[in-house]
Amino acid sequence: MFEDVYQPCPFCKTTKLKFCCAVIADDMERVIRLQESRQTLAALNLLEQIKKKHPDKLWNEFTRASILLEEGQPEEALGILNHILQQKPEHTSVIALHAIATYAVHGYRGAKDSIVRAFHRAAEDEAELVSNLSLSIAMEFFGMRCYLACRQHLVLALRFAPTEYKQECFVKLLEFDGNSELPYPLRGAHNLIEPVTGLDEEATKLAHKAYVLSSFGAYAKAAERYDQLLENAPENSQLLYNAALCRAWIGDEEIAVKQLHDAADHIEDFEKGAEYEALAQLLELNVTEDVVPIRSQRFTTSSSTLLISACDEQPRFSRVPMRPEEAEGGPVAMFEILDRQAMSNDVGDDLKLDEIPNVIAQLSIYDFPAEAGGPQVALTGLSSDMFETAKEVVTEAELSIEPEGEPEDAQDGWPRDWDCLNWRWAYPEKFPIRRRRELELSKWNQVIDEKWKSSPLSVLGGKSPQEAVGDESLQTRLAGALYVLDAFCDRSRYEIDLNKLRTDLGLPEVGPLSPEGVSLNSLSNVALHRVPVAEADVKQLRLILNRALLIHERRYLYATLREVLERTPEETDLNRVYQTLSELARDRANVDEALEWIAKGKEYAQALSNSFEEVFRWDTRELSLRLEDPTSEDVKPCINRLREYYGPKLPQFEEHLNSVLAAYGVTAAHDLSIDGTGSGTGGVWTPEAASQAPAGGKLWVPGQ
């Protein structure tokens, strides 16, 4: 391997092997072979021998540090790398590995300087190491719910990645942007403003240096430069925004929140100010201490089996369906504790919103072995009156459980400002999905009109949105709060009329942003949603369509899809367009419109070559939609039509049909009295899964 001593040294790189490490080359070749055959201990022993013979050589020590890192011993590896870095401060491999070891030992905050040094000096030579480091940092920030920081480090990972890994990093970035569990204003691009205007020549140069620092991940240093400039220009909204982004990108969200509020206060553009406010208020949810904490009370029991049977008999306990794999390592049974008696399946159509049981806590039963403490029970809920009520319900049930210690509060909880949105209903197992959706939409309307508008918000100085109407000092913050509300509702598949709410609260409708001369890829999601799709050219429309499908903010996505059907850019997947439109209409509880889009999609698919599979998928979508109300008179004809057509063509269609029916809690023979039988053997056709019921009242909050 190292026969030519005039080749560059694998470690020193810039020096020929003959003049640096030739004396240990044969031994190092043996180490490499031991590593390749996974004989790690033997490799470490040999490296120790090399160190004793040649204490002045670093190649072997660097290799030992690499192995120790791989073996999960970062502290020892860091000690070695600290020594090597003192002697080789410019060695890019050492810089990169030192950053990885420091991060493994101290986390991001304790390794910031080492990380920035690696980003700055080693990214070109050690692209894979630096890219992987950035990915690890992104995952840490995701766990901390610092979502702007997470995304920005995913961007760095993509930027630094060698060509063969760029696709993998790009997919991770798309997965983040498409994660509908996260508020849409925090997803997508957020770019620094460059150049910053309103500064003298010297300050402009310093601002540009800060921008350059940010380009290779030195966000803390960039933030310091922007802060330095703010000392002489404290009201420059562009500097404030840039400083806030850099702070958010390193997880300093408390400082970022303040600077975003200040940026919103000093910018003349109302819409940009509203966006800055939305970012500030969403980030604040992750750092505020004003939450209703999650409280838990533990119990012991002698028999988990007997306890589960007893819970099944309680009228205010609703058992949560669980798949067998969910019980592995977790609870063997879970029950929702209700504020009233559970509903029956035959509840009438005149059901009122205030008659539906609310979930106030959850009881989880664990079947631990005796050596692990035996069976245990946990009652969990928000530490409010609801939790105390749940404890009373459990006590009155006279279950065979004994409390263990006092209730404990977690650090996470529900933001107190948004407590009015804290609701979740419990339905009977066979309650129609369509009826659930209709009731939940009505509930959302009620919550926003009757509760949210009159609930105090700390960002409004303790005033409610209605009380803030007409207060000029609060208009930008009120507009930002509406974006936050929109993000919460969008996650729960509820689409608010943002312009109507703005008008109701004395705010102007959302100002349009012309697409002319604008790089749409550089726009944040909030800014992109201001672009009228009708004004976009065909190329821009295609880009908007891709972004809208990825982010899936319902209001803008619907408008985009309708515009696409008007113009149909080349290479547009109309099957996906019609499918998404049908799903959006379904989520609005507009069944007739959803069926119209399904019919159009099927008609389009029928005109394609080799259309059988796509047409079958459209028929399955229609069946799934109709099954959301199994009592509808349209269900049986639909099933019989599909049976007659697909039964002879697909050997196991009956099996597939029954699986779809089962997904909706329907048994064909008994619940619908459907005629006909299926038969046949052979390959199984696997269509897309049936649509799932929307979860009522679910809301994104930190910790969920």
- Average model confidence (pLDDT) across the chain: 90
In a domain, 88, yes or no: no
Give me the pLDDT at residue 553, please: 97
pLDDT at 1 over 60: no
Which of 252, 248, 253 is CA-nearest to residue 285? Answer: 253
Domain co-membership, 269 together with 297 = no
Domain co-membership, 494 together with 536 = no
Whole-model pTM: value is: 0.89
Return the CATH number at 247: 1.25.40.10
Give the whole-angstrom CA distance, residue 504 versus residue 500: 6
In a domain, 38, yes or no: no
Give me the pLDDT at residue 16, please: 66
Domain co-membership, 458 together with 540 = no
Chain segment 5-15, per-residue pLDDT in tens? 657 766 677 67
Contacts of 140 (CB under 8 A, 6+ apart): 107, 108
Domain co-membership, 699 together with 595 = yes
**Range of the structural domain that residue 442 is part of:** 434-504
pLDDT at 393 over 90: yes
Contacts of 385 (CB under 8 A, 6+ apart): none
Q: Which of 238, 256, 287 is the last residue of a domain?
A: 287
Domain co-membership, 350 together with 452 = no
Give the whole-angstrom CA distance, residue 466 versus residue 454: 6
In a domain, 207, yes or no: yes
Report which DSSP code applies to 321: P
Give me the pLDDT at residue 412, please: 86
Give the whole-angstrom CA distance, residue 337 versus residue 324: 22
The pair phi, psi for residue 92, each rounded to 5°, is -65, -35
pLDDT at 675 over 80: no
Residue 369 CA: distances (Å) to CA of 302, 303, 366, 373, 376: 11, 11, 9, 7, 10
Give me the pLDDT at residue 350, please: 82
In a domain, 648, yes or no: yes
Return the CATH number at 298: 3.30.310
Domain co-membership, 357 together with 461 = no
Confidence of residue 693 (pLDDT cuts 50, 70, 90): very low
Chain segment 52-92, per-residue pLDDT in tens? 787 777 778 888 898 899 899 999 999 999 999 998 899 99
Domain co-membership, 638 together with 696 = yes
In a domain, 242, yes or no: yes
Domain co-membership, 558 together with 578 = no
Domain co-membership, 593 together with 640 = yes
CA dihedral 497, 501, 503, 508 (to 10 degrees): -80
Q: Which of 34-38, 329-333, 685-689 has the lowest mean pLDDT?
A: 685-689
pLDDT at 682 over 80: no
Q: Which of 266, 287, 308 is the last residue of a domain?
A: 287
Q: Which of 235-249, 342-356, 410-424 has the lowest mean pLDDT?
A: 342-356
Give the whole-angstrom CA distance, residue 331 versus residue 563: 48
In a domain, 111, yes or no: no
Q: Which of 339-348, 575-584, 692-701 has the lowest mean pLDDT?
A: 692-701
Judge contact between 68 and 76, C-beta under 8 A. Answer: yes
Number of separate domains in the chain: 5
Q: How crowded is the C-beta side of 26, counted as CA atoms within 13 Å? A: 1
**Extended strands (E) in 367-477:** 376-382, 401-415
In a domain, 521, yes or no: yes
Query: 637 or 411, which is more confident?
Result: 637
Contacts of 82 (CB under 8 A, 6+ apart): 98
Domain co-membership, 535 together with 495 = no
Chain segment 150-159, per-residue pLDDT in tens? 999 999 999 9
Report which DSSP code applies to 22: G
Give me the pLDDT at residue 700, please: 37
Chain segment 230-281, per-residue pLDDT in tens? 999 999 999 999 999 999 999 999 999 999 999 999 999 999 999 999 999 9
Judge contact between 417 and 459, C-beta under 8 A. Answer: yes
**Extended strands (E) in 367-464:** 376-382, 401-415
Give the whole-angstrom CA distance, residue 245 versus residue 250: 9
Give the whole-angstrom CA distance, residue 354 versus residue 423: 12
Q: Is the dihedral of CA 261, 265, 270, 272 positive or negative?
A: negative
Element housing 307 (H / E): helix 304-312
Give the whole-angstrom CA distance, residue 414 versus residue 293: 6
Domain co-membership, 388 together with 439 = no
Q: Percent of the chain scored above 70 by pLDDT?
A: 91
Q: How crowded is the C-beta side of 579, counted as CA atoms within 13 Å? A: 17
Give me the pLDDT at residue 3, please: 52
Q: What is the mean pLDDT of residues 401-409?
A: 94
Q: Which of 33-37, 553-557, 698-702 has the lowest mean pLDDT?
A: 698-702
In a domain, 550, yes or no: yes
Domain co-membership, 372 together with 339 = yes
Q: Which of 568, 586, 610 is the last residue of a domain?
A: 568
Give me the pLDDT at residue 689, please: 34
- Residue 359's DSSP bridge partners are 338
